[in-house]
């Protein structure tokens, strides 16, 4: 009887690689080698194709999954700021270890995110709203997430998802970390994920953008 985490991450834009610096990467920016599904398959098919009996299941990308209209309206930037701009959210530094937590008003966080693309190459100096507020019983987030429909799957013993919600600006994200079964859905914007079976070469304090520019091709 476990719970698994679902991160609903809403990123305005996630720039990873400067194509001017790495013209050869233009093509790889467009490709993803993870299998894709274009609608929710049933649990049996899901188990067969992605091996969910074991925790080391295969990753899959679902595309074109419809999103509840009411939920979509609630999380529009102007709507969420009008309703909840004065609420405090928990942000963490975007480094692998020593996550430093800070409480900040949603209004102030969004202003910071809009100011400019990532100012520091250090993840330990970059604040990111990555969830965990729900653990602090934030009623307003619970109210919003009531309208969100999670994917209809159990993964092994994990069948009752807990929900997380976050937003971020250009270039934000979290560095490599280990994860149990989880599902992430982009609601607005885009975001790039890097998955690796082996531990990649990276500085736990640098941002993922920095890693993608500086280290990705230097393994």
Ligand X SMILES: *[C@@H]1O[C@H](CO)[C@@H](O)[C@H](O)[C@H]1NC(C)=O
Closest separation in Å from C-beta 93 to ligand X? 7
| Alpha-carbon distance values, 158 to 8, 42, 55, 203 (Å) | 17, 16, 9, 31
Closest separation in Å from C-beta 184 to ligand X? 25
Select the span of 20-28, 66-74, 119-127, 130-138 touching ligand X (CB under 6 A). Answer: 119-127
Select the span of 50-58, 81-89, 121-129, 171-179 touching ligand X (CB under 6 A). Answer: 121-129
Contact between 197 and 159 under an 8 Å Cβ cutoff? The reply is no
Closest separation in Å from C-beta 96 to ligand X? 9
The answer to whether residue 18 forms part of the interface with ligand X (CB under 6 A) is no
Give the CA angle between residues 98, 101, 102 to the nearest 5°. 150
The answer to whether residue 176 forms part of the interface with ligand X (CB under 6 A) is no
Contact between 185 and 30 under an 8 Å Cβ cutoff? The reply is no
Closest separation in Å from C-beta 100 to ligand X? 7
Number of residues engaging ligand X in binding (CB under 6 A): 7
Tokens of 139: 């009623």
The answer to whether residue 125 forms part of the interface with ligand X (CB under 6 A) is yes
The answer to whether residue 205 forms part of the interface with ligand X (CB under 6 A) is yes
The answer to whether residue 124 forms part of the interface with ligand X (CB under 6 A) is yes
The answer to whether residue 138 forms part of the interface with ligand X (CB under 6 A) is no
Cα separation, 108 vs 106, whole angstroms:
5
The region, left, alpha or beta by phi > 0 then psi within -120 to 50, assigned to residue 98 is left
Helices 106-115 and 77-84 pack at an angle, to 10 degrees, of: 140
Closest separation in Å from C-beta 124 to ligand X? 4
Q: Which is nearer to ligand X, 164 or 207 (CB)?
A: 207
User: Which position among 122, 176, 183, 193 is part of the footprint of ligand X (CB under 6 A)?
Assistant: 122
Closest separation in Å from C-beta 219 to ligand X? 19
| Alpha-carbon distance values, 204 to 85, 122, 134 (Å) | 31, 9, 26
Q: Which positions from 77 through 106 interact with ligand X, judged by CB under 6 A?
A: 95, 98
Quick one: which of 180, 212, 219, 154 has its CA closest to 17? 212
Q: Which residues bind ligand X (CB under 6 A)?
A: 95, 98, 122, 124-125, 204-205
């Amino acid at each position: 009887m476990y719970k698994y985490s679902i991160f609903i991450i809403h990123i305005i834009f996630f720039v990873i690689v400067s194509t001017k610096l790495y013209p050869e990467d233009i093509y790889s920016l467009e490709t993803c080698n993870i299998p894709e599904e274009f609608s929710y398959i049933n649990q049996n098919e899901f188990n067969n194709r992605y091996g969910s009996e074991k925790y080391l299941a295969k990753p899959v990308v679902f595309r074109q999954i419809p999103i509840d209209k009411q939920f979509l309206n609630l999380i529009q930037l102007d709507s969420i700021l009008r309703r909840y701009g004065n609420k405090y959210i928990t942000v963490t530094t975007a480094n692998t270890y020593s996550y430093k937590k800070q409480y900040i008003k949603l209004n102030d966080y969004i202003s910071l995110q809009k100011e400019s693309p990532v100012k520091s190459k250090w993840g330990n100096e970059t604040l990111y709203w990555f969830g965990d507020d729900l653990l602090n019983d934030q009623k307003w987030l619970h109210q919003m997430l009531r309208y969100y429909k999670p994917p209809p799957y159990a993964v092994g013993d994990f069948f009752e998802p807990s929900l997380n919600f976050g937003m971020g600006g250009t270039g934000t994200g979290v560095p490599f970390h280990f994860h149990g079964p989880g599902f992430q859905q982009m609601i607005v914007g885009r975001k790039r994920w890097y998955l690796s079976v082996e531990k990649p070469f990276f500085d736990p304090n640098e941002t993922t953008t920095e890693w993608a520019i500086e280290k990705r091709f230097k393994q």
